[in-house]
C-alpha cells in the first residue's frame, strides 16, 4: 500500500496513548507477531528469553516494569534482526505468599485451612488462582510485553509438575537429595522453613546482656541478645589459642538456672578479639552454634516449639520467646549472674518476608539438596566463559556465593506447592516415586512441599518441554540471556545454573546473565511504602503512556547500576513521544515518503543527517549489545530531538520550499523510517503508529533492523553543518541576551568572506529570523562566528545603555578571571604542589576567560555610541 500523497495525514493533531496502545497490542497478538516457531527456517538463528516468573499474587511494580522493558527491547530487536525469537511468559505459584493470601480470605469466613482439610484447601487455592491470581499478566500487556502468549507457563501446571517430579527422582537416585536434621530459618507464624531469600534482615536495637557461667576460677562471662536461649546451651566455646581460657578447655562449668554442667570447648570459629572471647553454644537455635556442635559432638537441645513457645521444663515453660527473655534476665539477676546490665545493641534481625515475624533458627527434620557438585559446575560454567555475567564485576559476587554454598533446604511445611514425591511404608521404608510410577498401596506421602525456588530453578528448560525431547528444547535451549535484578543473583540465578547443567547434560541454561539494578526515587532512595515514595507504573501508564514509562526506566538502565526515576522525567518522556509525533506529522503533511531509492545528489543538510544516522545506528548497536540501555536511549533521544526534530526538520523547511523538495521528501522519509525502527524496541506503540502511517506497511515489528551504511558517511557534510549549527547557536544566544523573542525578525547583513556557509545563507536567515537589510539598515552589533560576520540592526529592539552596562560587567568579571588564573599559574609553589588535574583546570579557565574577553570586546565595539 503506497504512503499517502502530500497533504493527506491520518494522524490526529495530538498523540493520545490511551487511544493507541490497547488496540495496537491486540492487533499484534491477533496477527501472531509475538509467536515463535521452532520449525521455522533453520537458517534463522534462535534467540530465547524466559521471563523471571512473577508471583501469582503479585502486581506490576517498578522493578517488574524495568525488568520487562529490558527484555522487550532485546526480543523486539532480535526479531527485527531476523532471529526466530521466543519470549516465554509465565507465573510462579509463590508457595508461602499464595497460601497466606487464601488463608486470610478464609479467616474472613471464620475458617482456617485445617477446617477445610488439605485436599479442599488446595482446591480453594486453585479456585483463587483462576479468579483472582495472575493480575500481573494483564498488566504486562499494558506495558507492551511482546511475549508468546501461546506458551504461557505456570510453575504448578501439569507440565511443570512432571518436570519437578522427574528431577527430584534423578537427584534422589543420584544421592543428591537427602533428609536430615539441620538448623534452618523457621517462621513461627507461617509454621514453615524459609529460604534465605525469604528472610529480610533489618538493623534493630536489641538488648545485650553479659552473663557469668560457673564460679570462681571456673567462671566465664558471655554476652547475648537472646538470653532465653541459654536454657538450651550445651557448651561454652573459646579459641584454642586464647591463653585466658586454656586452663578451662575440656572441663565443665555450671549452666545457671538449669542445674546442668556443660563443657568448655576450643573452636577456631570463635573470635578472641570480640567481646570476652567466649561464646555460649546453643546448637538447636543458632546456625553457627549448630556447626560448632557438630564438630564437637555436642547434644542438641530444642527449647522452643514451632510457635516460639518455651518447652524447657521449669519456670519459663509455656512462655512466648519474647516473654521468656526478660523473665530469664530477671532470674539471672536474682542469682547475681548479670555482669553488665542490659544495654542497647544494634544488630541484624531476620524477619519473614511475607508476615514480618522474627525468624527463629530451628533444628528440624528437612529435605536438602547436596549442592557441592552442582555448585562447582555452576561456578565452572562462568569461569570458563560458557556463561558471561554483565556487568563483569558482578561475577565476584556470584563466585562468592556458589563457591561457599551450603546444602539447600528444599522442604516447606505448607499445603500449597509441589508435594515431595516420597512415600513411607508401615515399617519405616522410604521410596521416591517418579512420574508414571505408582506408590505402594497403603504407603503415606511426605506432607511437606518443595521450596518455590526448586520449581523455578527448572524454568529455562521446563518451559521448553523438558523432560521430553521437544522441538522447542532443541531449537531454543540454551536460552540467549537471562535478565534479572542483581538482588536474586544468588538465590534464583545460581539455582537455575545448577539444575540446568545437571538436567541438560552439562549444557548451561543461558549464555548471558544480564543484571540490572533496583529502581529508586530521584534521590537514590529505596522505594518503600514507609518512605512514601513508591511509584505505581500503572499510574504512569494511565497518565503518560506505556512508551513514556518504558523510556523513563530504560534511560537510566545500565548494567548493574540502580535506576533513579521521577515523575518529571516521565513527563519529559511523554514530551519526547509527542516530539516524534509532531515531527512525523509534519513530514507526512509535506509529502515525506519511503518509496524508491535515495536521490543521487544530496544537499549538505541531507548528506549530514544521513551521515549522522549511520553513526547513530552503529553506536546504538554497540550499546545494546553491551546491555547499556541507558546510553543507547541517550544517543537516540539526542539524535531524535536535537538533530532530527530541531535541526533537520527546520533545515528541510527551506528545502521543501525550493527545487530540492522531492529529494528532501525522500530523505526525510528515510531518516524517520530508520529512526522509528531504532526506537521501536524502546517505545513500541508510538513508533508503530507513526511508522505504519509513514510507510503504509503492515507493522514495524516485522521491519528489518537498520544496518549502518559506511558509504553514507560524509565527514565533510558533518563538519559543514556543524559550523552552521555553531553559527546559528551563537547568534541565537546573542539574540536571547538582547531580550529578542525567538520569532522576532531582525535585519542583518552577512559577510561570508569565502566561507562555504555562503551557499546556505537562505537556511541561516530562516533559522535565525533574519531579514535582508534595506536602505535604512545601520548595524548596531557585529558577531564574527565560524568565519562569518553577522551584522545586526537591533535599533529599537534593545536598550543600548542597558546592554552596554551588562557587557561591561561581564567583561570585568572575565578580566578578573584571567588575572586570578594567571597569578595561580605563575605561582611556583602552586605549580610544584598542585595535582596535574588542578593545573589543567586552571589553564582551561584561563583560555576560556581570554576567549570571553575577546567576544565581549567585539560585542561592545559593535554597539552604537551613546
What is the model's pLDDT at position 865?
67
Sorted by where each begins, the domain ranges of the chain are 38-176+370-404+453-516, 192-361, 537-713, 745-862
**192-361 belongs to which homologous superfamily?**
Valyl/Leucyl/Isoleucyl-tRNA synthetase, editing domain (3.90.740.10)
Helix, strand or coil, per DSSP, at residue 48:
strand
The pLDDT-based confidence of 150 (bands split at 50, 70, 90) is very high
Q: Per-residue pLDDT averaged across 355-382, rounded?
A: 94
> Please, are residues 636 and 577 in contact by the beta-carbon 8 Å criterion?
no
* Distance between CA atoms of residues 685 and 680, nearest Å: 8
Strands (DSSP E) found in 707-777: 746-751, 770-771
Burial 694-723 (b: 16+ CB within 10 A, else e): bbeeeebbebebbebeeebbbeebbebbeb
3-state secondary structure 98-126: HHHHHHHHHHHCCCCHHHHCHHHHHHHHH
Per-residue cell: 27:
492487533
Dump pLDDT digits (tens) for 89-141.
Answer: 999 999 989 999 999 999 999 999 999 999 999 999 999 999 999 999 999 99
Helix, strand or coil, per DSSP, at residue 524:
coil
What is the model's pLDDT at position 741?
85
* Distance between CA atoms of residues 211 and 232, nearest Å: 15
> Please, are residues 665 and 656 in contact by the beta-carbon 8 Å criterion?
yes
What is the model's pLDDT at position 748?
94
* 44: pLDDT strictly greater than 50: yes
Distances (CA, A) of 302 to 233, 289, 309, 658: 10, 13, 11, 92
* 395: pLDDT strictly greater than 90: yes
Please tell me the total number of residues recorded for the chain in this structure.
866
ω into 447 cis (within 30 of 0): no
* Distance between CA atoms of residues 466 and 159, nearest Å: 8
- Phi/psi for 733 (5° steps) reads -65, -40
* Distance between CA atoms of residues 656 and 310, nearest Å: 87
Q: Please state whether beta strands 192-194 and 177-187 pair in parallel, antiparallel, or not at all (unpaired).
A: antiparallel
3-state helix, strand, coil in the chain (%, to 5): 45, 20, 35
Q: Per-residue pLDDT averaged across 269-293, rounded?
A: 91
The pLDDT-based confidence of 555 (bands split at 50, 70, 90) is very high
- CB neighbours of 756 closer than 8 A, spacing ≥ 6? 720, 723
Strands (DSSP E) found in 256-322: 260-266, 278-281
- Maximal C-alpha separation, the chain: 117
* Distance between CA atoms of residues 845 and 818, nearest Å: 8
* Distance between CA atoms of residues 97 and 451, nearest Å: 12
* 646: pLDDT strictly greater than 80: yes
Helix, strand or coil, per DSSP, at residue 650:
helix
* 77: pLDDT strictly greater than 90: yes
Dump pLDDT digits (tens) for 579-595.
Answer: 999 999 999 999 999 99
* 764: pLDDT strictly greater than 70: yes
* 707: pLDDT strictly greater than 90: yes
Indicate the pTM of the whole model: 0.85
> Please, are residues 310 and 228 in contact by the beta-carbon 8 Å criterion?
yes
What is the model's pLDDT at position 68?
97
What is the model's pLDDT at position 135?
92
What is the model's pLDDT at position 858?
77
Higher-pLDDT residue of 169, 286:
169
Helix H segments across 434-476? Answer: 452-456, 459-462, 471-476
Q: Per-residue pLDDT averaged across 370-383, rounded?
A: 97
Per-residue cell: 500:
540446568
* Distance between CA atoms of residues 715 and 509, nearest Å: 45
Q: Per-residue pLDDT averaged across 5-22, rounded?
A: 83
Crossing angle for the helix pair 62-80 and 546-554, nearest 10 degrees?
Answer: 90
Higher-pLDDT residue of 481, 799:
481
Which residues contribute to the annotated binding site? 529
What is the model's pLDDT at position 203?
77
Q: Please state whether beta strands 449-450 and 788-793 pair in parallel, antiparallel, or not at all (unpaired).
A: unpaired
Lowest-confidence segment of 158-162, 193-197, 208-212, 239-243 by average pLDDT: 193-197
> Please, are residues 230 and 281 in contact by the beta-carbon 8 Å criterion?
no
Looking at the structure, give the CATH architecture of the domain made up of residues 537-713.
Orthogonal Bundle (1.10)
Q: Per-residue pLDDT averaged across 251-275, rounded?
A: 91
What is the model's pLDDT at position 487?
80
Give kind and range of the element (H or E) at residue 50. strand 46-50
Q: Return the CATH number of 38-176+370-404+453-516, one of 3.40.1190.20, 3.40.50.620, 3.10.20.30, 3.30.565.10.
A: 3.40.50.620
What is the model's pLDDT at position 5?
44
Distances (CA, A) of 398 to 49, 163, 383, 495, 513: 21, 26, 11, 11, 11
Beta bridge partners of residue 444, listed in sequence order: 424
* 3: pLDDT strictly greater than 50: no
Which residues contribute to the annotated binding site for ATP? 529
The pLDDT-based confidence of 615 (bands split at 50, 70, 90) is very high
Dump pLDDT digits (tens) for 652-697.
Answer: 999 999 999 999 999 999 999 999 999 999 999 999 999 999 999 9
> Please, are residues 666 and 593 in contact by the beta-carbon 8 Å criterion?
yes
Q: Per-residue pLDDT averaged across 439-458, rounded?
A: 96
Cα angle vertex 234, ends 182, 280, to 5°?
A: 95
What's the mean pLDDT when you consider all of the chain? 92
Looking at the structure, give the CATH architecture of the domain made up of residues 745-862.
Orthogonal Bundle (1.10)
End-to-end CA distance of the chain: 67
Return the closest-CA partner of residue 206 out of 185, 222, 227.
227
User: What are the helix and strand counts (H, E) for the chain?
Assistant: 28, 29
What is the model's pLDDT at position 797?
67
* 391: pLDDT strictly greater than 70: yes
Beta bridge partners of residue 345, listed in sequence order: 206
* 209: pLDDT strictly greater than 90: no
* Distance between CA atoms of residues 333 and 443, nearest Å: 53
- Phi/psi for 683 (5° steps) reads -125, 80
Amino acid at each position: 500500500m503506497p504512503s499517502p500523497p502530500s497533504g493527506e495525514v491520518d494522524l490526529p493533531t495530538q498523540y493520545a496513548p490511551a487511544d493507541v496502545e490497547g488496540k495496537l497490542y491486540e492487533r499484534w497478538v491477533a496477527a501472531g507477531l509475538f509467536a515463535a516457531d521452532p520449525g521455522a527456517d533453520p537458517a534463522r538463528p534462535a534467540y530465547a528469553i524466559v521471563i523471571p516468573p512473577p508471583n501469582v499474587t503479585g502486581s506490576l511494580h517498578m522493578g517488574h516494569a524495568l525488568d520487562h522493558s529490558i527484555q522487550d527491547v532485546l526480543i523486539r530487536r532480535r526479531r527485527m534482526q531476523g532471529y526466530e525469537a521466543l519470549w516465554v511468559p509465565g507465573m510462579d505459584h509463590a508457595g508461602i505468599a499464595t497460601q497466606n493470601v487464601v488463608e486470610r480470605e478464609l479467616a474472613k469466613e471464620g475458617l482456617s485451612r485445617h477446617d477445610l482439610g488439605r485436599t479442599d484447601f488446595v482446591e480453594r487455592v486453585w479456585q483463587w488462582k483462576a479468579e483472582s491470581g495472575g493480575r500481573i499478566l494483564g498488566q504486562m500487556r499494558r506495558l507492551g510485553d511482546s511475549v508468546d502468549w501461546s506458551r504461557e507457563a505456570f510453575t504448578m501446571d501439569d507440565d511443570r509438575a512432571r518436570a519437578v517430579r522427574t528431577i527430584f527422582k534423578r537427584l534422589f537416585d543420584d544421592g543428591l537429595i537427602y533428609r536430615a536434621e539441620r538448623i534452618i530459618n523457621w517462621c513461627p507464624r507461617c509454621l514453615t522453613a524459609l529460604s534465605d531469600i525469604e528472610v529480610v534482615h533489618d538493623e534493630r536495637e536489641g538488648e545485650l546482656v553479659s552473663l557469668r557461667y560457673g564460679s570462681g576460677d571456673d567462671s566465664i562471662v558471655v554476652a547475648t541478645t537472646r538470653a532465653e536461649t541459654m536454657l538450651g546451651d550445651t557448651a561454652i566455646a573459646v579459641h584454642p589459642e586464647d591463653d585466658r581460657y586454656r586452663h578451662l578447655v575440656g572441663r565443665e562449668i555450671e549452666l545457671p538456672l538449669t542445674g546442668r554442667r556443660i563443657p568448655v570447648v576450643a573452636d577456631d570459629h570463635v573470635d578472641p578479639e570480640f567481646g570476652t572471647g567466649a561464646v555460649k553454644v546453643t546448637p538447636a537455635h543458632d546456625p553457627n552454634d549448630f556447626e560448632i556442635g557438630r564438630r564437637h559432638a555436642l547434644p542438641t537441645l530444642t527449647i522452643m516449639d514451632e510457635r516460639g513457645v518455651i518447652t524447657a521444663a521449669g519456670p519459663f515453660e509455656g512462655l512466648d520467646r519474647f516473654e521468656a527473655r526478660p523473665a530469664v534476665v530477671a532470674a539471672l539477676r536474682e542469682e547475681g549472674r548479670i555482669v553488665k546490665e542490659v544495654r542497647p545493641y544494634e544488630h541484624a534481625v531476620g524477619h519473614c518476608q511475607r508476615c514480618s515475624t522474627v525468624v527463629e533458627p530451628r533444628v528440624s527434620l528437612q529435605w536438602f539438596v547436596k549442592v557441592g557438585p552442582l555448585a562447582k559446575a555452576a561456578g565452572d560454567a562462568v569461569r570458563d566463559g560458557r556463561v558471561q555475567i554483565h556487568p563483569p564485576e558482578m561475577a565476584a559476587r556470584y563466585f562468592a556465593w556458589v563457591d561457599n554454598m551450603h546444602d539447600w533446604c528444599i522442604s516447606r511445611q505448607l499445603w500449597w506447592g509441589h508435594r515431595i514425591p516420597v512415600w513411607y511404608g508401615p515399617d519405616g521404608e522410604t521410596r521416591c516415586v517418579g512420574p508414571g510410577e505408582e506408590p505402594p498401596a497403603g504407603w503415606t506421602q511426605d506432607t511437606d512441599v518443595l521450596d518455590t525456588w526448586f520449581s523455578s530453578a527448572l524454568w529455562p528448560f521446563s518451559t521448553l518441554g523438558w523432560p521430553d525431547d521437544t522441538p522447542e528444547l532443541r531449537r531454543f535451549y540454551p536460552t540467549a540471556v537471562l535478565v534479572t535484578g542483581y538482588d536474586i543473583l544468588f538465590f534464583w540465578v545460581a539455582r537455575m545454573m545448577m539444575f540446568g547443567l545437571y538436567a541438560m547434560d552439562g549444557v548451561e541454561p543461558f549464555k548471558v546473565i544480564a543484571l540490572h539494578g533496583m529502581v529508586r526515587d530521584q534521590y537514590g532512595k529505596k522505594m518503600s511504602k514507609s518512605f512514601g515514595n513508591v511509584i505505581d507504573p500503572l499510574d504512569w501508564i494511565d497518565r503518560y503512556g506505556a512508551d513514556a514509562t518504558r523510556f523513563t526506566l530504560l534511560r537510566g538502565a545500565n548494567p548493574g547500576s540502580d535506576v533513579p526515576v521521577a515523575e518529571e522525567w516521565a513527563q519529559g518522556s511523554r514530551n519526547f513521544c509527542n516530539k516524534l509525533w509532531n515531527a512525523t506529522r509534519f513530514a507526512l503533511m509535506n509529502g515525506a515518503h519511503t518509496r524508491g531509492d535515495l536521490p543521487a545528489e544530496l544537499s549538505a543538510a541531507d548528506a549530514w543527517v544521513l551521515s549522522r544516522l549511520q553513526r547513530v545506528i552503529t553506536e546504538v548497536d554497540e550499546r545494546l549489545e553491551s546491555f547499556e540501555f541507558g546510553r543507547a536511549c541517550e544517543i537516540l533521544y539526542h539524535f531524535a530531538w536535537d538533530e532530527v526534530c530541531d535541526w533537520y526538520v527546520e533545515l528541510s523547511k527551506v528545502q521543501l520550499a525550493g527545487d530540492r523538495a522531492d529529494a528532501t521528501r525522500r530523505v526525510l522519509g528515510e531518516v524517520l523510517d530508520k529512526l522509528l525502527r531504532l526506537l521501536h524496541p524502546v517505545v513500541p506503540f508510538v513508533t508503530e503508529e507513526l511508522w505504519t502511517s509513514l510507510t503504509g506497511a503492515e507493522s514495524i515489528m516485522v521491519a528489518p533492523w537498520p544496518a549502518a551504511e559506511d558509504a553514507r558517511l560524509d565527514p565533510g557534510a558533518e563538519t559543514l553543518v556543524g559550523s552552521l549549527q555553531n553559527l546559528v547557536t551563537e547568534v541565537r544566544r546573542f539574540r536571547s541576551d538582547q531580550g529578542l523573542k525567538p520569532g522576532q525578525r531582525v535585519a542583518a547583513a552577512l559577510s561570508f568572506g569565502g566561507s562555504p556557509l555562503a551557499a546556505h545563507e537562505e537556511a541561516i536567515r530562516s533559522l535565525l529570523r533574519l531579514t535582508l537589510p534595506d536602505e535604512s539598515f545601520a548595524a548596531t552589533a557585529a558577531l564574527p562566528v565560524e568565519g562569518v560576520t553577522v551584522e545586526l540592526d537591533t535599533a529599537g529592539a534593545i536598550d543600548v545603555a542597558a546592554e552596554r552596562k551588562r557587557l561591561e560587567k561581564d567583561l570585568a568579571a572575565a578580566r578578573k578571571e584571567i588575572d586570578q588564573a594567571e597569578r595561580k599559574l605563575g605561582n611556583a609553589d602552586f605549580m610544584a604542589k598542585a595535582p596535574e588535574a588542578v593545573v589543567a583546570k586552571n589553564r582551561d579557565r584561563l583560555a576560556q576567560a581570554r576567549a570571553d574577553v575577546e567576544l565581549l570586546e567585539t560585542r561592545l565595539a559593535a554597539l552604537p555610541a551613546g
